[in-house]
Structure 1
């Protein structure tokens, strides 16, 4: 009997010895409970002693956690706005005992703290702006949301590392209003373009008219200086140009004054008739 009793005692000693220590790995934090009561002071990574048989250690993952949380709110102009946020956070290892006492498990932390506070933070951020501003100034909406959420979760021992807006949607009524507004803006821009094009065309016509008037003025001055001889030369050239025949119908012959003399015009067709006769 003595060897048997000795073996049992030795086995109990070994069992008690193994249950007297706990190893907390990196990225973890533990809470020691004795007879069901959480003890102060978090167990950080390393080897820790715990009273055998009457104690228990709850181990928490304090690495980065990521959860996607939906939220809904009304904007300043009373439009419904829905969003979905991806939230990266971790539990504060130093405050893990308080989390254990008040919230329990990580699942409770997410469902009872993170999700409701996300909803409240989104309401605060959305109420500061209209639905159009929430869309056009999305980065500002996210900044206000981050500040509100960080302040709310910090008091629970939850550290917010980063957030991102996964989805942002608004009511069908507002979607139709946005579409109608875009169509109206496009029409307005088209009208502005047409008006500018007409204005440019009118200015071009004015410039052409001014150019033609200036050309006529210069021509009149030149004709006046030449004594009127250029008038007939000009008409002769225009008559030749407008004839359209391979061989000109009108022949221009300079007078005694040379190139500056009044041209003599006659019809080559008449010459042909004379030769036939």
Structure 2
């Protein structure tokens, strides 16, 4: 009885071991390629296969074959380069790239560059292209012609990266700075330009004020001449007319006042009258 039970347990253990071994073999023969990835198969006898494997679960021969997973989604890269301009000024530039591998060329990329292909290629060709492009421009042109500089860097870098099986979706210069001496010289130039503009404005203002003074003086001179001519033509009549108008205005003003009374100045012959101010309180 004990022997039968022992044989049964041994059989169960062998079955479990067989099932476990089979499950391990099946599990090792399966691999999964997630979304946004591709796989390259390395065969111990045939080497790297020329085709790539797309997303999903796939079979391989354990030990004999090995999958190498690549991420084919766009990834950002940034690096800084110090380059010399055409007028021998040193410029610091930061370049940002968005890159991804050319999927059909993944086997070649793996054989020639490995899985860290972008870290090996992009900084070197980026510095090379930046130095070549920046050397074609003067320091001030890098600011005034920045779109042209960026476009030239993008075109040159895209062509160089394509030789290594790398696709660039975007290339941008995110930072640009000059050396201390050049920055100081630019600042002094800007200050001088502002001072020149201010001086120009002061000169224009003085010129306008001078013209206004001349026009005003000419107008006053013309007015005085007209009055003098009129006086000469009309004799003392014009002067008497102005005196009468002034006296009439004064009399009208005094008449509108509430505390002003009229008292005859003479013996009632209709002569001159005096205007007397009376205290309203009385």
Flag whether TM exceeds 0.5 (same fold). Answer: yes
Where does residue 104 of structure 1 map in the other structure?
114
Q: Is the 8 Å Cα contact of residues 154 and 172 (structure 2) preserved in structure 1?
A: no
From 41, 44, 56, the equivalent of 1:35 is 44
Per-residue deviation at 1:8? 5.3
Where does residue 23 of structure 2 map in the other structure?
14
Q: 1:158-180 CA distances to partner (integer Å, 9 max, x unpaired)?
A: 12122333321111111111011
From 7, 23, 32, the equivalent of 2:32 is 23
Distance 2:188 2:34 in 1: 59
Where does residue 144 of structure 1 map in the other structure?
152
Distance 2:196 2:242 in 1: 51
From 67, 71, 79, the equivalent of 1:57 is 67
Where does residue 142 of structure 2 map in the other structure?
134
Where does residue 70 of structure 1 map in the other structure?
80
From 201, 212, 218, the equivalent of 1:210 is 218
Q: Is the 8 Å Cα contact of residues 31 and 57 (structure 2) preserved in structure 1?
A: yes
Per-residue deviation at 1:228? 4.4
Per-residue deviation at 1:90? 1.6
Q: 1:76-116 CA distances to partner (integer Å, 9 max, x unpaired)?
A: 2121111112222222222211211111122x421x20101
Where does residue 180 of structure 2 map in the other structure?
172
Q: Is the 8 Å Cα contact of residues 73 and 81 (structure 1) preserved in structure 2?
A: yes
Structure 1: runs of 5 or more not aligned:
238-277
1:121 aligns with 2:129: yes
Per-residue deviation at 1:234? 7.1
Range that drifts further, 114-123 or 156-165: 156-165
Where does residue 187 of structure 1 map in the other structure?
195
TM-score computed with the length of structure 1 as normaliser? 0.76
Distance 2:242 2:91 in 1: 78
Q: 1:197-250 CA distances to partner (integer Å, 9 max, x unpaired)?
A: 11101111111122112212321332233124435777999xxxxxxxxxxxxx
Q: 1:137-182 CA distances to partner (integer Å, 9 max, x unpaired)?
A: 3333222222222121122221212233332111111111101101
Per-residue deviation at 1:30? 0.8
- Whose Rg is larger? 2
Distance 2:124 2:14 in 1: 58
1:120 to 1:236, Cα distance in 2 relative to 1, 3 A = farther
Per-residue deviation at 1:126? 1.3
1:48 aligns with 2:48: no
Distance 1:193 1:228 in 2: 51
Distance 1:18 1:69 in 2: 42
Distance 2:162 2:236 in 1: 100
The alignment of Structure 1 onto Structure 2 pairs a total of residues equal to 236
Range that drifts further, 56-65 or 36-45: 36-45
TM-score computed with the length of structure 2 as normaliser? 0.74
Distance 1:10 1:73 in 2: 65
Taking only aligned residues, the RMSD between alpha carbons, in angstroms, comes to 2.7
Distance 1:99 1:14 in 2: 34
Q: Is the 8 Å Cα contact of residues 87 and 163 (structure 1) preserved in structure 2?
A: yes
